[in-house]
Amino acid sequence: MNSGKMTEASDRERQAASREMVIREAAKRRISDPAGTRGQEVLNALMEIIEVANLKVGDRLPSEKELASSLGVGRSSIREALTAWQRMGIIVRNKGAGTRLAADVTGNGIQKPVVIQVEAQGLMRTLAVRRPLELEVARLAIHNATEKDMRIINARCEELLALYEAGENWFDADHRFHEAIYDASGNPLFGQLIKQLHAAFHDIYQAPFDQPKMADRSIPIHRDLADAIIARNWEKTKAVLIEIFSIVEDEVTKILHEEQ
């Protein structure tokens, strides 16, 4: 019995040692983004660690101190990133104990090929929810928007296209453009929901995939969308929106396929 216990113990020990090795291996490349928010990068690195170490629900993550030194960032950054995951129910933190993986956001076990699939699934899910919402918002905007709302929509659209054509970062402008449509709908609840979905989409989209790819096809059409809404033409608006979603979904599917 003792031998059994000891074998078990040494097994665990060996496993832990090996796990620590792969974790250090996975965390080799430092995070290097002096400007901007590191939260997302920390989470990406953490995801990679989880993949490589094959951590499953219930397993303990490396301590905050270890993560900080491994990733080359401060403990504050680690904590902020972990707080986000904690709020989302992905991890559970216990004072004195440690941080454990709690969620099956990834479904069944976290493995290399699954992760991208899951992330892309997340993309598709946000799109599936956004489609009916944005259609309804556009319908309401056509009915309820004032002329002032329309001018704002037009201005935001021009801003977006200008940034896009200049090759600059158009993410915020895209957000503001759609926001103008939500505001014009007259129902703030839509805005709240879609805003969250929009942010979630960009969180996932910005990280693992390159952004110009999708934009090449979906951004220019936004001009048509703005025109159709301003003209209060529901049929045209509907068609353009469906086309936009079709493009985006097509791109996401392609990316998913490529990454497999």
Residues in contact with its own copies by CB under 8 A are 39, 76, 79-80, 83-84, 87-89, 102-104, 107, 125-126, 128-129, 131-133, 135-136, 140, 187-193, 195-197, 199
The answer to whether the beta carbons of residues 171 and 180 sit under 8 Å apart is: no
Q: Provide the mask over 88-117, with x wherever binding to DNA is found by CB under 7 A and - wherever it is not.
A: -----xxxxxxx------------------
Min dist CB 68 to DNA, Å, is: 6
* Partner whose footprint covers residue 237, from DNA, its own copies, none (CB < 5 to 8 Å by kind): none
Min dist CB 29 to DNA, Å, is: 14
Min dist CB 136 to its own copies, Å, is: 4
Q: Using alpha carbons, select from 114, 235, 218 the residue that is nearest to residue 171.
A: 218
Q: Which helix (H) or strand (E) holds 147?
A: helix 147-165
Q: Provide the mask over 15-54, with x wherever binding to DNA is found by CB under 7 A and - wherever it is not.
A: -------------------xxxxxx---------------
CA neighbours within 13 Å on the CB side: how many for 203?
17
| Interaction of residue 166 with DNA, rule CB under 7 A | no
In angstroms, the first-to-last Cα distance of the chain is 46
Q: Using alpha carbons, select from 210, 199, 206 the residue that is nearest to residue 176.
A: 199
* Partner whose footprint covers residue 84, from its own copies, DNA, none (CB < 5 to 8 Å by kind): its own copies
Give the nearer residue to DNA in terms of CB position, either 69 or 111: 69
Cα 7 → chain centroid = 43
Identify the residue among 61, 157, 219, 241 touching DNA (CB under 7 A).
Answer: 61
Residues that bind DNA (CB under 7 A): 34-39, 61, 63-65, 68, 72-77, 79-80, 82, 93-99
